[in-house]
Amino acid sequence: MVNLGKSGLDRRALAWGGVGVVLTLALTFLGSDGLRWFDSALIGYLFGLVFAVFAITYRYSVWLRRPPTAMLNRRGWDSFRERPSRNLLSLPALIGSHLLVQGFIRKRSTSRWLAHQFVFWGCILAGLITIPLTMGWLHFQSVGQQADRYQVYFSRVGTVSFDAASIVGWLAFHALDVAAVLVLIGVFIFLRRRLSDPGALAVERSGDFLALAGLFAVSVTGLFLTISSTLLEGQFYPALNTLHALTVILGLMYLPFGKLFHIFQRPANLGVAYYKQVNLDGPQAECRRCGEPFCGIQQVTDVQLVLEQVGFDYSSEDGDNYQNTCPGCRRRQVALAQSLRVGGFG
């Protein structure tokens, strides 16, 4: 048996991780115009980011090489290429429904979906702002002599400008607060669900709480910063700033290992959608026992191959493979075999 995930460090994945780190650093250097716009106060964040990139790339490439994942990865792309134009056309809708709107969560439970949407959009918003900021891609400059007019710079290119006192200005400076509030709302709905529902609690893994705790800590310390600067005239600011940085950096380092890694795995869902379509349209495997079609031949064959790769042998003497029987007939066959061996009752 392949001992998944317990095989020491993986050289190839290390290399990919290295590539990721180099790429991130290069992009930071280039994007910040040779570090000109890089804010050295954010060096801790950059460290966290680089670490996260390394570890995520590492884990992702290990994951991608597991036989079933590799198979799916290949098949996903194959399926996509089979009808490129049609598939390209359907891509936005798929991304919308599977990755952004996440209707499948809503089918499970509305409150859970709501919570997830809040956290999801909060994180997206925060990521879109902080990552470019950290990498020095984004900065603000005051326009001319006007102390309260700012322009947003993307690298060395000036883009929009706004009045600090305007709504846009407020939003620009408080976007992260908005993100934090979104996340907190989501976290609270999640927590309420979990604490009030014994069933949910039972399947809870400690990792789930850790993820919620992390999101909570990052959001709350971030909000404290704003409170300190706007209401407390900067009291405790340095200490809070360090605290916030610490939570964010820890969060970034947790990202590749914990529950939140699903953010990076999830897009594979799109490949699955294409693969399933191909298998729906293609020839169907018929059950050896009842003769009914139960799945696309391609996927059955793929799974049989994967089974072999991970060390199973479901073949029988007559050259057949057990997975050629439909799941319902497998259940029936187990029952019939068992009944035969309690023949003494009859």
Partner 1 sequence: MKYRPNEAPVFVIDQSRCIGCEACVQGCMECGTHRGQSLIHLERIDRATTTQTAPMVCMHCEDPTCAQVCPADAIKQDEGGIVHSALKPRCIGCSNCVIACPFGVPRFMAELDQMMKCDMCIDRTSEGLKPMCASVCPSEALWYGTREEFADNRRGELIREFRFGRQDVRTLVYTVVDDLAPGPLDVLRGFERSWLEDPFDLEGGAHDAGLGFS
Partner 2 sequence: MSRIPISEEELISRYGPHLNEEPPGGWDGGIVPDRVVQTHCCFCGQQCGIKLKVKDNEVIGFEPWYEFPFNEGKLCPKGVKRYLQGSHPDRLMHPLERDSTSPSGFRQISWDDALNRVASEVRRIQEEHGPDAFAMLSGVSLTNEKSYLVGKFARLALGTANLDYNGRFCMVSAGAGNKKALGVDRAPNPWSDIPLADVVWVAGSNIAETFPITTSYIWKARDRGARLIVQDPRVVPLARTADLFLPVRPGSDSALFGAVLHQLIRNDWLDHEFIDNHTVDFDQAAAAVADMTPAWAASITGVAAARIEEAAELWGTSATGMLLHARGIEQQSKGVDNVLAAINLGLATGKFGKPGCGVSTITGQGNGQGGREQGHKCDQLPGNRDISNPEHREHVAGVWGCDESEIPGKGLSAEEIIEAIHEGSIKGLLSICFNPLVSAPDSNFTKEALDKLEFYSVIDFFLSESAQHADMVLPGSLHEEDEGTATSGEGRIIKINAATEPPGEARLDWEILVDLAERLDRGQYFPFQSSKEIFEELRLASAGGTADYRGVTWERVEAEMGLFWPVPEEGHPGTPRLFEGGKFYHPDGKARFHPIPFRESAEVVDDEYPIWLTTGRVVSQYLSGTQTRRIGALVRQYPEPLCEMHPQLAAQLGVSDGDLITVTSRRGDMVLPAQVVATIRPDTVFIPFHWPGRKAVNQLTNRALDPISRMPEFKVSAVRIDRVDDSQRAGESSEPRPA
Closest contact distance (angstroms) between CB of 116 and partner 1 is: 9
For position 19 contacting partner 1 by CB under 8 A, the verdict is: no
Calpha distance 40→222 (Å, rounded):
19
15 or 195: whose CB is closer to partner 2? 195
Specify burial of residue 147 (Cβ count, 10 A radius: 0-12, 13-18, 19+). Answer: exposed
Residues in the chain: 346
Residue whose pair of structure tokens reads 């947003």 in the numeric block: 152
* Among the listed residues 15, 36, 158, 197, the single contact to partner 1 using CB under 8 A: 197
Min CB(115)–partner 2 separation in Å: 12
99 binds partner 1 (CB under 8 A): no
User: Binding segment for partner 1 among 22-30, 162-170, 182-190, 309-317 (CB under 8 A)?
Assistant: 309-317
Among 77-85, 130-138, 153-161, 317-325, the segment contacting partner 1 (CB under 8 A): 317-325
Q: What is the largest CA-CA distance in the chain?
A: 98
Contact flag: residue 109 with partner 2 (CB under 8 A):
yes
Verify binding: residue 197, partner 2, rule CB under 8 A. Answer: yes
Torsion of CA 268, 273, 274, 275, to 10 degrees: 80
Contact between 110 and partner 1 (CB under 8 A)? Answer: no
Q: Is 287 in the site for partner 1 (CB under 8 A)?
A: no
Pick from 66, 83, 149, 174 the residue near partner 1 by CB under 8 A. 66
At position 5, the amino acid (one-letter code) is G
- By a kind-dependent CB cut-off of 5 to 8 A, residue 104 interacts, out of partner 2, partner 1, none, with partner 1
Kindly state whether residue 346 participates in binding partner 1, applying the rule CB under 8 A: yes
Which residue, 145 or 196, is less far from partner 2 as judged by CB? Answer: 196
Contacts of 149 (CB under 8 A, 6+ apart): 142, 143, 161, 162, 163, 164
Asked whether 49 and 252 are in contact (CB, 8 A), the reply is: yes
Out of partner 1, partner 2, none, what residue 312 binds, judged by CB under 5 to 8 A for its kind, is: partner 1
Cα(207)–Cα(261) distance, integer angstroms: 11
Residue type, position 224, single letter: F
DSSP character string of 280-338: HHSPEEEPTTT--EEEEHHHHHHHHHHHHHTT---B-TTS-BGGGS-HHHHHHHHHHHH
Contact call for residue 259 and partner 1 (CB under 8 A): yes
Q: Does 107 help bind partner 2 (rule: CB under 8 A)?
A: no
List of residues 6+ apart from 108 with CB closer than 8 A: none
* Residue 196 binding: pick among partner 1, partner 2, none (C-beta 5-8 Å cut-off by kind): partner 2
Q: Considering only CA atoms, which of 142, 156, 127 is closest in space to residue 37? A: 156
The answer to whether 306 and 296 are in contact (CB under 8 A) is no
Q: How far is the CB of 230 from partner 1 (least distance, A)?
A: 35
Binding site for partner 2 (CB under 8 A): 109-111, 196-199, 345-346
Binding site for partner 1 (CB under 8 A): 1, 4-5, 63, 66, 68-69, 71-73, 98, 104-105, 107-108, 197-203, 259, 262, 265-266, 268-269, 272, 275-276, 295, 299-300, 303, 306-307, 310-317, 320-323, 326-346
